[in-house]
Amino acid sequence: MLYLMGSIITRKRKDGSVAWLAQIAIRRDGKTVLRENRTFERRSVAAAWIEKREEDLAKPGALDALPEDGQKRKDVTLGVAIDKYIEDSAKGMGRTKAQVLKSIKDYDIANKSCASIGSADLVAFAKEKLKTGVAPQTVANYLSHLSAIFTLAGPAWNIPLDAGTMRDALIVCKRLGLTQKTRQRERRPTLEELDLLMTHFHDRSTRRPSSVPMHRITAFAIFSSRRQEEITRIR
């Protein structure tokens, strides 16, 4: 007889913060054949990890394929985790976000095993990215997209990426000035500026009928208040 048990334990740290320890144990004929546990910052994420692991382990042959406790997927690289995130995103993602994540695979950090990545590696990546000439706001955008993978990798795919490591790196990058918040718009275009834009786009459309009708898209964007990706997805 096979029994699968999942539980969540509240743990208080020395600094007073709370962590959630999610545990899974499988017993067969009175003996524990598998035991796994992971610590999370939120109870909901811990519960999601238990639910996902129970679902995976319930599949035929899953237990036979499992290595010793704590050894699963330790050699998976960050590049593989990025591909997994893009592939499994049921809602899909914007083209820009997908391009950002894929471009990270060109850096050394993508070849490191997830289990070995520390906050220092993420800070080094931020510095390397900044040297390419991008603004600190852009570096912050890269880390923001990457942090989503750090949050989901453990509970969703049992890939050992530590969300706490990413949080530490974000704090360090901010303190060192490697990242900054996106600058807020200070004003809207004037009517005169809009007239110049509309005239330019209309003239271009007249000269090149096959070009994108930006004068129409611009007008629609202004009156609908939709973002660029929302507009381009409308059918």
CATH number for the domain that contains residue 104: 1.10.150
Q: Provide the residue range defining the domain that includes 45.
A: 2-65
Cα–Cα distance measured from residue 40 to residue 152, given in angstroms and rounded to the nearest whole number: 11
Say yes or no to pLDDT of 173 above 70: yes
To the question of pTM greater than 0.85 for the whole model, the response is no
Give the closest residue to 163 by CA, choosing from 10, 7, 20, 5. 20
pLDDT band at 90 (very low <50, low <70, confident <90, very high): low
Neighbour-count burial of 178, counting CB atoms closer than 10 A to its CB (0-12 exposed, 13-18 middle, 19+ buried) = buried
What mean pLDDT comes out for the span 172-186?
85
Torsion sign (Cα): 97, 112, 77, 165 = negative
Same domain, 121 and 86: yes
Q: Is residue 185 part of a domain?
A: no
Same domain, 226 and 156: no
Tens digit of pLDDT for each residue in 27-42? Answer: 766 666 666 777 888 8
Q: Is residue 142 part of a domain?
A: yes
Say yes or no to pLDDT of 187 above 70: yes
Q: Per the structure, how many domains does the chain have?
A: 3
Q: Is residue 73 part of a domain?
A: no
Q: Is residue 167 part of a domain?
A: yes
Ranked by mean pLDDT, which of 32-46, 77-91, 205-219, 220-234 comes out on top? 205-219
Q: Is residue 216 part of a domain?
A: yes
Give the closest residue to 180 by CA, choosing from 146, 144, 140. 140
Is 197:219 a contact under the CB 8 Å cutoff?
Answer: no
Say yes or no to pLDDT of 70 above 60: no
Write down the pLDDT at residue 69: 39
Cα–Cα distance measured from residue 9 to residue 139, given in angstroms and rounded to the nearest whole number: 36
Same domain, 39 and 82: no
For 15, 102, 112, 145, 146, the CA distances from 75, given in Å and listed in that order, are: 32, 20, 9, 22, 19
Write down the pLDDT at residue 115: 87
Write down the pLDDT at residue 177: 93
Q: Is residue 31 part of a domain?
A: yes
